[in-house]
Amino acid sequence: MKVALDVMGGDYAPGEVIRGAYLASQEFKDLELLLVGKASLIEDCLRSQKINFKFSIVDAPQKIEMGDSPALSVRRKKDSSIVKGIELLKNKEADAFVSCGNTGAIVCASTLYLGLIEGIERPGIALVFPTLRGLSLIIDVGANIDPKPLHLFQYALMAEIYFKRVLNKEAPSLGLLNIGEEESKGPEFLRETSSLLKENFSNFIGNIEPKDIFMGSCDCIICDGLAGNIALKVSEGFAEAVDYFLISEVKKDFLGILALGVLRKSFKRFRKMIDYAEYGGAPLLGVDGVIIIGHGRSNAKAVKNAIRASLREFETNINEEIREKVKN
């Protein structure tokens, strides 16, 4: 299987991205990696890191920066790693594309070059994250900030298939993120979505409140991109604040430092639980191809896990199933 990897995207690119590629090449047999980025930079980086593995380089001298306007940069920077990488997918020269770069540009280029699965109206970014009772999936976390009920309905359809095939759970539960459990709560478009989901999904459990996301009471959480992005990023920030606060509190006295030694394992497990790097990237569902968006702050392990997510999604061939389901 061939994965095109955007070597220029992410806060720690290209170094950590290339190290992630190396880790993936060691772990996954039959993986062919296409490193997309500025060729001279990739070669320098490999030399300085003294690592060696099987890969090809696809030269992409331009870079879309994190602050660039998605629509403009995708049109103007045809030689960027994001556009080049997605073109590889379009031309069947790669089976999946993985990038930790500008999310908006990835969404935009994917929609423009690959198109959407027939019948799907908008792509959505799904994210698998840990809860107290196992993994949950939330869609959309930022692709679509002007959502209509039909978009959210289609997210539910795609989330269900993804959860079934990639996370191996039959009939995962579906919930709609809203400010209250009651059907009467929230803005008009969420109330309409709720009716649509109720009519069409027997496993729809109704509105789910933001405070219950981490309890694991719902497998697939459906929401608009603004809400989902805020939910995701607030928890990330909160986790960091908690971590910082607890550690600085505990270190205030000598007994605390001793106790911290004892508790190291627990803290480690806690950090692992809240560490996005463990869970790989976020699949962009609805586009006609396998696209994984990694976190901007991805380290090598996160890049490796994003590549793993692309392998799993490609193997399960969920896009075919989505195509069939939307037809009906």
| Interface residues toward a copy of itself, by CB under 8 A | 67, 69, 104, 131-132, 142, 145-146, 177, 179, 181-182, 184-188, 209-215, 225-227, 229-242, 244-246, 249-250, 252, 255-256, 258-260, 262-263, 266, 269-270, 273-274
DSSP 2-64: EEEEESS-STTTTHHHHHHHHHHHHHSTT-EEEEEE-HHHHHHHHHHHT----EEEEE--B--
- Contacts by 233-237 with C-beta closer than 8 Å and gap 24+? 235/274, 236/276
Question: How far is Cα 98 from Cα 76, in angstroms, rounded to an integer?
Answer: 21
Q: How far is the CB of 14 from a copy of itself (least distance, A)?
A: 23
C-alpha 309: how far from its chain's center? Answer: 9
Q: How far is the CB of 211 from a copy of itself (least distance, A)?
A: 3
Q: Which of 273, 281, 159, 142 is nearest to 208 (CA)?
A: 159
Amino acid identity of residue 259, one-letter, is A
Question: How far is Cα 299 from Cα 61, in angstroms, rounded to an integer?
Answer: 22
Q: How far is the CB of 322 from a copy of itself (least distance, A)?
A: 26
For a copy of itself, give the closer residue by CB, 44 or 182.
182
For a copy of itself, give the closer residue by CB, 82 or 117.
82
For a copy of itself, give the closer residue by CB, 62 or 235.
235
Question: How far is Cα 38 from Cα 97, in angstroms, rounded to an integer?
Answer: 17
Peptide bond into 68 cis (omega under 30): no
Degrees to nearest 5, angle at CA 189 with 183 and 194: 40
CB atoms within 10 A of CB 25: 19
For a copy of itself, give the closer residue by CB, 194 or 316.
194
Tokens found for residue 92: 């069947």
Q: How far is the CB of 306 from a copy of itself (least distance, A)?
A: 19
Q: How far is the CB of 231 from a copy of itself (least distance, A)?
A: 5
Q: How far is the CB of 214 from a copy of itself (least distance, A)?
A: 4
- Please check whether residue 50 is in contact with residue 15, taking contact to mean a CB–CB distance below 8 angstroms: no
For a copy of itself, give the closer residue by CB, 171 or 241.
241
Q: How far is the CB of 134 from a copy of itself (least distance, A)?
A: 13
Q: At what angle do helices 300-316 and 149-166 cross, to 10 degrees?
A: 90
For a copy of itself, give the closer residue by CB, 85 or 104.
104
Q: How far is the CB of 240 from a copy of itself (least distance, A)?
A: 7
Q: Which of 11, 1, 47 is nearest to 277 (CA)?
A: 11
For a copy of itself, give the closer residue by CB, 47 or 132.
132
Where is 171: in which H helix or E strand?
none
